[in-house]
Amino acid sequence: MARHGGRGWYGRVLAAAVGVTAMAAATSVWSAQAGPVDAGKAGAGASARPSAAGAAPARVSVDIAHASDHGARGVNITIDDGPDPEWTPQVLQVLRENGVKATFCMVGTQAQAHPDLVKAVVADGHRLCDHTVSHDTAMDTKADSYQSQQILDAERMITEASGGVRPMYYRAPGGAFTPYSRDLAASRGMRPLGWNVDTKDFERPGTAAIVATVKAEVSNGPTVLFHDAGGDRSQTVAALREVLPWLREQDYSFGFPVR
């Protein structure tokens, strides 16, 4: 998995994360439902349902997920680094227009700053993913205690911002997984989540280039990586408008990563 370097925005995220209490994961009164949701078939709030208060999350596989719960012709749309007040609503609108459910990998401080957007993501039937507190792409070189703080504090921030809906996945920034971080996430009910198609939209190569990457590489695997924060994401929004109908024309369906 390629690492994304040179992101000045993450310096600001890291600064915002200073002082976050380590090991402060909270237990939610909700749990996310794991059943597959096809395009347009889930209503608002379909990504979560109540569970017993204080219920511990069930352990999931430590293996990094790439496959789709919709099988060989399934595609998983994943959106990283938000939520962002300018771009997340636009991404949500495009997904809504195309009847597509996606997985949003959220940075803890972003979720904490924009709880209304986290709730909007959940209300539209999308799933949540823990993308750490400060998006440190060198996490795999850091101590276990640091990895714990990054993962568990982000889990708490996202769950609180959502109104009690837990993240169902954990995506390491830049793919910086370790055996420890994978096991910790899995013990919290968050399946480690990889990707097959890196659209490179973060580099703003142009809408046509983003679309071309998806068309050329989707046969490599179903999980496609986009971003809704960290800068101007207008190319991403425009690319999604083209890519989603094209994928359906190619007889792909839209699902979630396997759990």
CB-CB contact of 119 with 162 (8 Å): yes
Around Cβ 13, how many Cβ atoms within 10 Å?
Answer: 22
Smallest CA-to-CA distance from 133 within 7, 4, 12 is with 12
For the chain, the residue count is 259
Q: What are phi and psi of 183, to 5 degrees?
A: -65, -40
CB-CB contact of 80 with 108 (8 Å): no
Around Cβ 8, how many Cβ atoms within 10 Å?
Answer: 8
The Cα–Cα gap between 86 and 247 comes to: 26
Smallest CA-to-CA distance from 78 within 135, 35, 121 is with 121
C-alpha distances in Å from residue 90, one per residue of 37, 57, 118, 134, 185: 21, 32, 14, 24, 30
> Active-site positions?
80, 227
